[in-house]
Chains A and B, each alone.
Chain A
């Protein structure tokens, strides 16, 4: 039974969301009439979770009083804690940029963009190169470089691999994104890349290029990039957000 349940879990973990409605990973979002959800908006969210204390620790915010949701300021972006032992430049099982097919893709990037690509170049190239599909699980970079398709996880892994091919520190982050969709604001499970620039982790999200992203809630960086990486994902998802409530703008919050 356990092996079977773990197989189900592996399935769930590999079934990540793209920008479109993703039935498995949509987080109910309750907007507030007086809080506009626009790109980069300084809004405060109430994150309802089965384990608010653990979620607060994961998000590096104050633990809420018992029975209360976690309050989270959506912007500015708050990168997950960094694992000090990592350079985030290694070729790994998941981010296998030393594979020939990824190297070839990097050469395509150089040809299409510039020999010294930056965050914008990576985003633009990956968004233009990969076809958004929902039929893939969580492919490693070399597989995506070959297939050139995928959802947000493939976009994030590929962008991370290309950045590392350029010797830039990069990593894959999973969490929740709040974005404007044709149906209005929505929150859903998502994966994106972070590139380290000027000693600061910055979001590089090729999957949502062109989408109005209100903000990101990073649950954690993928630190285990070995063949056992799905266990790391499971760890990150232990403290999932069940429901998000947009809080009214208060004077105190406006000054944060």
Chain B
């Protein structure tokens, strides 16, 4: 097989994926190492000033706000009516839009432009670059470019953890924190995720409030991470980070795959992650099909967990499966790495690590797993027919939730309003409602009710053809 064109250099054939997993990444550990470096990549390491105005003990109104912070956690919202004037003003601060300023790394690896003043030169160390940007606040924001990219969700989670850890010697113990806002989307063809934290530090003399804003994205095979530690400047930070992402050009940018789509994932009304599907045609006619997800979801009042998953299928030109892999990392730690290969007897076998446990099993010989491309093509063909309400397509699929047994997947058309094909997808015990894109046979949206949650995927970007 020829060298594949990849997205974010994270999506590889199995042996390449394996080597990639062993390569340095922006994990908790690597960030921890970086944070000990004099040229700390994290913005908080660049400032020893206190964050936010002093909070006076006995300020009842403020204490109530802090209580809400401590108790409400992820849905943390300090009610405007309860906020003292200074806090409201601090949180409402924004920088003035500045003239566009261009920047370029000394080695020419990347260039970008932001509507703000760039302070000093771009710092380069190891596999990364850091630009320091003045957005009008006491603390500047930083934007970093990490060669080779990173897992979006685990980067956000683990860098936040290190940031809070590094805050403590400077500002006092972080005794409460929570996510105030979370978002995910796409700028151009680049998926991004953001998290806005608010936290309270206490140095034993007084409590103070602070804020950490994070922005992580993937572009041209590289990772982009911007952060700012200060109350307020929410829109300014987002505007500058977005401009950085949009304008960044790389010396050796990786081209987009032949087909590429990005969807946002929501739990309830909260966008918690992204999902990407791509198809890359190889020179020998084979296809590399990739599904990846990055999710950051609340697990406690002051904690989030991350999951980054990659599911790669290699297929023939007719969309039939050659082999496949599932790789899942939880909180930046490899949890699952499985491969599905055909056996000499004509069946399939699964081998690798699942839930951090080795498995090696054969799958029922009579079961043939299909690719998502084959499913899409079948649905695309179905959508061209008339009177399709009630018609059902049945396949067997290999999903990470059932690694050692294929599960049956059915798609039943439930309506065709305004030319849109709406159907009910059932996979094992799970059911979801999907709206098809008739042009590709892939869903433009999917909704599932599971337990207390409504899980939604909405496609927000598509380019290329299947």
A: which residues have CB within 8 A of B?
Answer: 1-15, 18, 20-27, 50, 93, 96, 134-140, 142-143, 151, 183, 189, 226-228, 230-232, 234-235, 237-238, 240, 242
Task: State the 9 A-B residue pairs at the shortest beta-carbon distance, nearest first.
Answer: A235-B429, A4-B275, A228-B402, A240-B451, A1-B443, A237-B451, A134-B299, A23-B298, A230-B401
Question: Contacts A8-B265, A8-B293, A143-B355: A15 and B403 contacting too (C-beta < 8 A)?
Answer: no
Within the assembled complex, what's the spacing in Å between the Cα atoms of A13 and B303?
Answer: 17
Within the assembled complex, what's the spacing in Å between the Cα atoms of A25 and B300?
Answer: 10
Within the assembled complex, what's the spacing in Å between the Cα atoms of A3 and B328?
Answer: 13
Asked if B194 is at the interface of the complex by the 8 Å CB criterion, the answer is no
Whether A242 contacts B309 by the Cβ 8 Å rule is no
Whether A1 contacts B277 by the Cβ 8 Å rule is yes
Whether B331 contacts A135 by the Cβ 8 Å rule is yes
Q: List 23 A-B contacts (CB under 8 A).
A: A1-B277, A2-B427, A2-B443, A7-B311, A8-B293, A9-B401, A10-B401, A12-B453, A14-B330, A18-B300, A22-B299, A23-B299, A24-B297, A24-B451, A26-B452, A140-B355, A183-B71, A227-B355, A227-B402, A231-B407, A231-B430, A238-B450, A240-B452
Whether A27 contacts B277 by the Cβ 8 Å rule is no
Interface of B (DSSP majority class): strand
Asked if B9 is at the interface of the complex by the 8 Å CB criterion, the answer is no
Contacting residue for A231 out of B71, B428, B453, CB 8 A:
B428
Total residue contacts A-B, CB cutoff 8 A? 180
| B361 proximity list for chain A (CB < 8 A) | 227
Whether A50 contacts B449 by the Cβ 8 Å rule is yes
B: which residues have CB within 8 A of A?
Answer: 71, 73-75, 263, 265, 267, 273, 275, 277, 291, 293, 295, 297-301, 303, 305, 307, 309, 311, 328, 330-331, 335, 354-357, 359, 361, 372, 375, 397, 399-405, 407, 409, 425, 427-430, 432, 434, 442-443, 446, 448-453, 455, 457
| A136 proximity list for chain B (CB < 8 A) | 330
Within the assembled complex, what's the spacing in Å between the Cα atoms of A166 and B384?
Answer: 61
Whether B263 contacts A1 by the Cβ 8 Å rule is yes
Whether A22 contacts B300 by the Cβ 8 Å rule is yes
| A238 proximity list for chain B (CB < 8 A) | 429, 450
Within the assembled complex, what's the spacing in Å between the Cα atoms of A93 and B265?
Answer: 30
14 further contact pairs, Cβ within 8 A, besides A6-B427, A18-B300: A1-B372, A1-B446, A2-B427, A4-B277, A5-B455, A6-B430, A9-B455, A15-B305, A24-B299, A24-B453, A137-B355, A189-B452, A231-B401, A237-B450
Whether B446 contacts A2 by the Cβ 8 Å rule is yes
Within the assembled complex, what's the spacing in Å between the Cα atoms of A129 and B12?
Answer: 40
Whether A2 contacts B428 by the Cβ 8 Å rule is no
| B335 proximity list for chain A (CB < 8 A) | 137
Question: Contacts A9-B450, A15-B305: A3 and B311 contacting too (C-beta < 8 A)?
Answer: yes
Question: Contacts A139-B355, A237-B451: A3 and B397 contacting too (C-beta < 8 A)?
Answer: yes
Whether B429 contacts A1 by the Cβ 8 Å rule is no
| A151 proximity list for chain B (CB < 8 A) | 299
Within the assembled complex, what's the spacing in Å between the Cα atoms of A183 and B399?
Answer: 40
Within the assembled complex, what's the spacing in Å between the Cα atoms of A242 and B277?
Answer: 33
Whether A143 contacts B277 by the Cβ 8 Å rule is no
| B375 proximity list for chain A (CB < 8 A) | 2
What residue in chain A is nearest B405 (Cβ atoms)?
Answer: A228
Which of A5, A135, A240 is most buried by chain B, counting CB atoms within 10 A of its CB?
A5
B352 to chain A, nearest CB (A): 11
Within the assembled complex, what's the spacing in Å between the Cα atoms of A139 and B311?
Answer: 21
Which of B263, B265, B297, B399 is most buried by chain A, counting CB atoms within 10 A of its CB?
B399
| A240 proximity list for chain B (CB < 8 A) | 450-452
What residue in chain A is nearest B74 (Cβ atoms)?
Answer: A23
B454 to chain A, nearest CB (A): 11
What residue in chain A is nearest B442 (Cβ atoms)?
Answer: A1
B266 to chain A, nearest CB (A): 10
Whether B293 contacts A7 by the Cβ 8 Å rule is yes
Whether B453 contacts A227 by the Cβ 8 Å rule is no
Contacting residue for B295 out of A11, A227, A234, CB 8 A:
A11
